[in-house]
Amino acid sequence: MGKDNSLQYRPEIDGLRAIAVIPVLFFHAGMGFPGGYTGVDVFFVISGYLIGTLILKEAEAGTFSFKRFWGRRLRRLFPAWAAVVLLTTVAALFWLIPAHLLDYGKSLISQPLLVANFYFWRQSGYFETASEFQPLLHTWSLAVEEQFYLFLPLILIPFARFGRRVVGIIILLFILISLGLSFYLSTRDVSFAFFLLPARIFELDLGVILAWYLLRKKEAPRFGSGIALGGLGLILLSYFLFDENTVFPGVAALMPCLGAAAFILGNSGKLTLSGKGLSHPFLVWIGKISYPLYLWHWPVLVFIGYLRLGDTDAVWGSFGLLLSVLLAWITYRFIETPVRTKNVFPGMKRLTVTALIFSLGAISLGLLFIQSKGIPARFSESVNELLFEPDEANDALRLHRIDEWDRTGGPKILGDQSPDSPSLLLWGDSHSAALKPVMDALGKEYGVRVLSAHQPGTIPISGTYRKGRRDGALNFLERVEKHIEENDLKKVLFVARWPYYVFGDGPGDMRHMIQEDGSTGDSMEERADIFVRNLAKMVQKLEAEGRQIWLMRSVGEHSRSVPETLAQIASRGGRLNSLAPTLMEKREDDQPMNTLIDRALAKTDAQVLDPLPLFSDERGSYLMAREGKPLYRDRNHVSEFGAMELKELFVPLFKEIAASKKP
């Protein structure tokens, strides 16, 4: 291979970087490119190709050094990352409310530990609204790459001694295993598939196998121009054909990844027409600053949206992108380049020590933010009081769960404790548990014994279960049915987050989708049929046994955490319900689910309770707060105050049950 193991500069690859980063920026700014997030996948292939080429060339020349390899990665990645993390942390201290600064502290700790993707995997989905408050969310992709850099040489170098063929086979095996895992998980655990390395290895390894192939092949590829143009076409198609609802990564990720690999392959000889196009000086310049540009754009857009309470438009989005470009150029020119060219930190020892000190500082600050619960002293008491912190001993959502009945002796009993009092079974998921305050108060007022049977994330419909939780869910349902029969409970109230199980919690969410034996639950139509058929069957069975049924429609959901949004508004002196949607909008949102409920109960005597009017005002707003207090504890669970505001909804029910008490 010769003595020169350096990589030959290819301007069209910098142009490809530009084509990768620009759609990501516009997608995040809400300014087009519905599939722009796939630009990250193009980056993965480029990275795999360049790093793979470097490792394989040095391995074959016998000059590879783990110390030198990881040192180059540190010199390349640390400076810009440190600058962004430092200034983002300063901004977070000034602007993030305590709850968000606490979360930021957790994400800050994950950065130097190279586990940001694990943290965000456990927190929320990439497309969920909560991501709008995570200034470092985009660093999940850096963590994936860094983990790949850590393990790739550990795998390739030992096998390199057995020859190129063995290395190629090993790379292909990793591609096939990762690809299969990605296909499987993309419809079962989309968050795992999206954030974690095992389901992403095939994207990076496509670049590595391309590097392996091109190191063997000396002549330019036949039909290079067509291959490169076709590859570029695949990349561009993914930006417009995909959107937030696309099952991803999975098979969909092959389009941008194969496109990137094809473009690099097609231009591996002389530059093709498309290669020359991407070698345009402007695109090359964008490509050169693409790393700091990617790092800067997300926190800039997050803080703009944060300060404007989500009210961003094309003007503010454009401002954010222009500011990101400016910050990226400054970072590239005055921080990244001097370190990379060794004008600053010429020796690795000082750079390594600096990186360690900075990392320890980041971890320490993160711990401070967590231990102080977001340093609430930065804000007034009126702001901090809006943030919901449940009393652990009195927390409504800590009622006896069904899976704890063996330990607790059965359902939690609310209201009147006398065994002779008429009983009401409250059956549902965590939304039913959130009604503890009002159930307890009304039960005591009307002499009704309320038995709470709840299991978080489990729809209370016999014969159904959530994806991957068949045995557990069916066992919970059977235990409640058995309890109803053994205690001859005549009154049952169903409360649940009904839309969650049919429509999900956002694009790509399949975690709690309803299923039954013999079904997959993959399509909305199938889930709707399962819901209607099984709910109707269960209610009809209970009524045939002489039981009376009530069902509460879901409370309206908000697009973001209510207490946190109210605290943001209050910190700026705004009106608490200024972002409240209208009741009509909530009606429209809930109409698909309510239609299914009405279809299921059409041939029953079940009474349907509608909570929405009780959270509205005379102006037709669907309130987030009343009397200065949050009606919700998060996006969809009512707070204890909110539960009591629903009292009027349940009074007729309790009066009816109380009237049935034997004299």
- Report the predicted TM-score, pTM, of the whole model to 2 decimal places: 0.83
Count of all residues that appear for the chain in the document: 663
Q: 662 pLDDT exceeds 70?
A: no
Measured CA to CA, the distance from residue 145 to residue 67 in angstroms comes to 18
Measured in degrees and rounded to the nearest 5, phi and psi for residue 450 equal -105, 120
Q: What share of the chain is helix, strand, coil (3-state, %, to 5)?
A: 65, 5, 30
Look up residue 7 and give its two tokens. Answer: 């990589």
Strand 607-609 with 548-552, pairing? parallel
Measured CA to CA, the distance from residue 190 to residue 201 in angstroms comes to 16
Mean pLDDT of 347-356: 95
In tens, the pLDDT along 376-395 reads: 999 998 898 888 665 544 56
Residue type, 206: L
Token pair 């053994």 is found at 486
Letter string b/e over residues 444-479, b meaning 16 or more CB atoms within 10 A of that residue's CB:
eebbbbbbbbbbbebbbbbbbbbbebeeebbebbeb
Q: Among residues 172, 220, 264, 210, which one has the least CA distance to residue 53?
A: 210
From residue 123, give the alpha-carbon distance in Å to each of 129, 140, 450. Answer: 12, 12, 34
pLDDT interval class at 3 (50, 70, 90): very low
Measured CA to CA, the distance from residue 9 to residue 45 in angstroms comes to 17
CB of 198 within 8 A of CB of 132? no
Measured CA to CA, the distance from residue 388 to residue 291 in angstroms comes to 38
Q: Among residues 555, 539, 538, which one has the least CA distance to residue 649?
A: 555
Measured CA to CA, the distance from residue 68 to residue 54 in angstroms comes to 12
CB of 309 within 8 A of CB of 568? yes
Measured in degrees and rounded to the nearest 5, phi and psi for residue 608 equal -100, 130
pLDDT interval class at 397 (50, 70, 90): low
Q: Alpha helices of 128-272 — where are they, by DSSP H?
A: 140-160, 164-185, 190-195, 201-216, 224-241, 254-266
| pLDDT given at position 350 | 95
In tens, the pLDDT along 608-651 reads: 999 999 999 989 999 999 999 999 999 899 999 999 999 999 99
pLDDT interval class at 124 (50, 70, 90): low
| pLDDT given at position 127 | 46
From residue 267, give the alpha-carbon distance in Å to each of 55, 264, 519. Answer: 21, 5, 47
CB of 293 within 8 A of CB of 286? yes
Q: 5 pLDDT exceeds 70?
A: no
Measured CA to CA, the distance from residue 522 to residue 249 in angstroms comes to 16
Mean pLDDT of 578-590: 92
In tens, the pLDDT along 237-295 reads: 999 999 988 888 999 999 999 999 999 999 998 899 999 999 999 999 999 999 999 99
In tens, the pLDDT along 520-531 reads: 777 889 999 999
Hey, what domains does the chain have and what are their CATH numbers? 11-378 (no CATH), 396-659 (3.40.50.1110)
**More confident site: 31 or 123:** 31
Look up residue 185 and give its two tokens. Answer: 């998980």
Measured CA to CA, the distance from residue 556 to residue 497 in angstroms comes to 10
Q: 585 pLDDT exceeds 90?
A: yes
Distance of alpha carbon 485 from its chain centroid, rounded?
Answer: 41
Among 84-88, 217-221, 302-306, top mean pLDDT goes to 84-88
In tens, the pLDDT along 201-249 reads: 999 999 999 999 998 877 777 888 999 999 999 999 999 999 988 888 9
In tens, the pLDDT along 473-517 reads: 788 899 999 999 999 999 999 999 999 999 887 655 556 788 888
From residue 210, give the alpha-carbon distance in Å to each of 182, 265, 658. Answer: 20, 7, 75
Q: 401: which residues sit within 8 A by CB, 6+ positions away?
A: 454, 455, 456
Look up residue 239 and give its two tokens. Answer: 């930006």
Percentage of the chain beyond pLDDT 70 is: 95
CB of 231 within 8 A of CB of 266? yes
| pLDDT given at position 309 | 82
Secondary structure element (H or E) that encloses residue 465, with its range? strand 465-466
From residue 569, give the alpha-carbon distance in Å to each of 89, 292, 349, 538. Answer: 21, 32, 47, 44
Token pair 């005002």 is found at 617
Look up residue 594 and give its two tokens. Answer: 């309510």
Distance of alpha carbon 402 from its chain centroid, rounded?
Answer: 28
Q: 260: which residues sit within 8 A by CB, 6+ positions away?
A: 16, 20, 41, 42, 45, 46, 206, 207, 231, 235
Report the phi/psi class of residue 488: left, alpha or beta, with left for phi > 0 and alpha for psi in -120 to 50.
Answer: left
Mean pLDDT of 79-92: 97
